[in-house]
Amino acid sequence: MDRDGNRSRPSAQKGVLLVFTALLLPVVFACAGLAVDLGNMYVHKSNLQNAVDSAALAGAAGYIAGGETAEDHPGANTMSDEYLKADLGKGYQNVIDKDFQAQTVSGKTYYRVKVTQKSPVYFMTLLGLDSLMDVSADAVALVGSETSGTPDFEFKDLISVKTIGDLASLASGGSTGGNNGKAYGNNGKNKGKGNGNKGNSDTDASDYDEVITTYDGNVVYQNTAYAEKIYTSAAYYQYKYQADNAENYFYAQAGNASEYQSFYSKTTDKIDELYDSTDSPVRRWTDKKETVYGSTDFYEKEKGGNVEIDIEEITGDTAKPVYLKIDNFNENKISIDVNQTNDRPVIIIYTGESKDKKPLVLSISGNQYGPVSFTGVLYAPYADVEIDMGYDCEFIGSIYAQTLDVNSPGSHFMYKDIFSGSSSGNGTEAYKTRLVKNTSLVWN
């Protein structure tokens, strides 16, 4: 009321309120639009960060798998980029910059991924800003040490078999039960034609037969000693009487079957643990055929069916094995061909059994350039195994099988402790690949 006792009119107040509302409404809309745009950018930033985190871990795994260096790591970059494409989906086309770097500090290697992506905004355009704003994210992964998560394997024998197969083939290099007559005559170069008892040479074994298949390492038969002579590389191309006089031979040792069963059980558990705990990607396949290039450290054939595997030239860190595991429910034909010398050792794992007279066959046949060497372990303790090797080819490592047939005249078997000084149990500090905060590292 005024001083005269009359009621004041609110129209003036309402007018002022409308003016203030009109003035504040654009500010309210701008704040709401800013909140929407900032929320949208936050979502894009979170999605981009998740993708970059995955890409950094994948790149670190690729770095390990390729045995790469901080100066040169194309495999890591490719794997990181593939993960970015998969995680960002259509948003990958909005990536305007990506950077992959690695550096080694105090003996540890770090791998970084940095990505800048365009994020759409809507209300900010009313303020004259661009409809797309830059959003960046980076992640750094510590590249795991080579010992990380890798158990020690104690493969101490050149050859160990559970029961007798055709160990007579060890002495001659040709299976007496084979079907191809792969044995050689007195000069060690001409194939015998095999008549009746296939695999024998053109002439009967005599003191003047030359030694053309040799073994350096323990040969163990897990029930009793084996009486036939097995010749070492010192006897290569000697007449047998010369090798005998020089004592360039040995006999298979008698192994304790129960001790080997315990060893097999522990080793199989370690293999399963290794596959379960590895940070490296595992290449799994279900088809019949597969080629092993060493693009990853771990391969695994899943499901049953026939298996045909080609092991190609695998270059890189010679102290870092590649693992090749075949599903233990596979009871069909398994054939593995080696046509090139592998620098990195290959651990072939099959813990199933052989049925219907279908052995696991490892063929080391050489190529047009000459003989090749296979380095690795054939771990098939419950399966029948056949080794076919071309002339002057080599098997370097260990063989564990239930029975073993050798069709390898003119070839060489040599024991090597694959895990001595390798990425398994070399006494260095073990640490796994993981994301780390990018606080003290300086990047270009």
* Average pLDDT for 195-210: 50
Q: What is the pLDDT of residue 151?
A: 60
**30 torsion bin: left (phi>0), alpha (psi -120 to 50), beta (else):** alpha
Least confident of 43-52, 106-115, 168-177, 213-222: 168-177
Question: What are the beta bridge partners of residue 142?
Answer: 110, 434
Most confident range, picked from 9-23, 109-123, 183-197: 109-123
What CA–CA distances, in Å, run from 337 to 161, 296, 312, 360? 22, 19, 9, 11
Reported as a pLDDT band with limits 50, 70 and 90, residue 194 is: very low
Asked whether residue 369 carries a pLDDT value surpassing 60, the answer given is yes
Asked whether residue 315 carries a pLDDT value surpassing 60, the answer given is yes
* Average pLDDT for 276-282: 82
Separation CA 59–CA 42 (nearest Å): 25
Q: What is the pLDDT of residue 228?
A: 75
Q: What is the pLDDT of residue 229?
A: 83
Q: What is the pLDDT of residue 199?
A: 37
Asked whether residue 13 carries a pLDDT value surpassing 80, the answer given is no
Count of CB atoms situated within 10 Å of the CB of 3: 5
Q: What angle do CA 114, 115, 116 make, to 5 degrees?
A: 135
Q: What is the pLDDT of residue 41?
A: 73
Tokens 């000697």 belong to residue: 238
Q: What is the pLDDT of residue 45?
A: 86
Least confident of 161-170, 218-227, 270-279, 418-427: 418-427
Share of the chain above pLDDT 90, in %: 36
* Average pLDDT for 115-128: 73
* Average pLDDT for 416-433: 62
Q: What is the pLDDT of residue 198?
A: 35
Share of the chain above pLDDT 70, in %: 73
List, for residues 235-253, the tens digit of each pLDDT value: 988 888 899 999 999 988 8
Angle of the 11-65 helix axis to the 74-88 helix axis, nearest 10: 140
* Average pLDDT for 190-217: 57
Q: What is the DSSP string of 297-346?
A: SEEEE-SSS-EEEEE----S-TTS-EEEEE-TT--S-EEEEE-S--SS-E
Reported as a pLDDT band with limits 50, 70 and 90, residue 176 is: very low
Whole-model pTM: value is 0.59
Count of CB atoms situated within 10 Å of the CB of 190: 11
Asked whether residue 207 carries a pLDDT value surpassing 90, the answer given is no
Separation CA 388–CA 110 (nearest Å): 44
Higher per-residue pLDDT: 179 or 12: 12
Residue type, 244: D
Identify the DSSP state of 183. Answer: -
Mean pLDDT for all residues in the chain: 79
Q: How many CA atoms lie within 13 A of 150 on its CB side?
A: 28
Task: Say which residues have a Cβ less than 8 Å from residue 121's Cβ, sequence separation at least 6.
Answer: 37, 40, 41, 129, 130, 131, 132, 133
* Average pLDDT for 427-442: 72
Asked whether residue 177 carries a pLDDT value surpassing 70, the answer given is no
Q: What is the pLDDT of residue 166?
A: 56
Three-state secondary-structure class, residue 89 = helix
Q: What is the pLDDT of residue 367?
A: 80
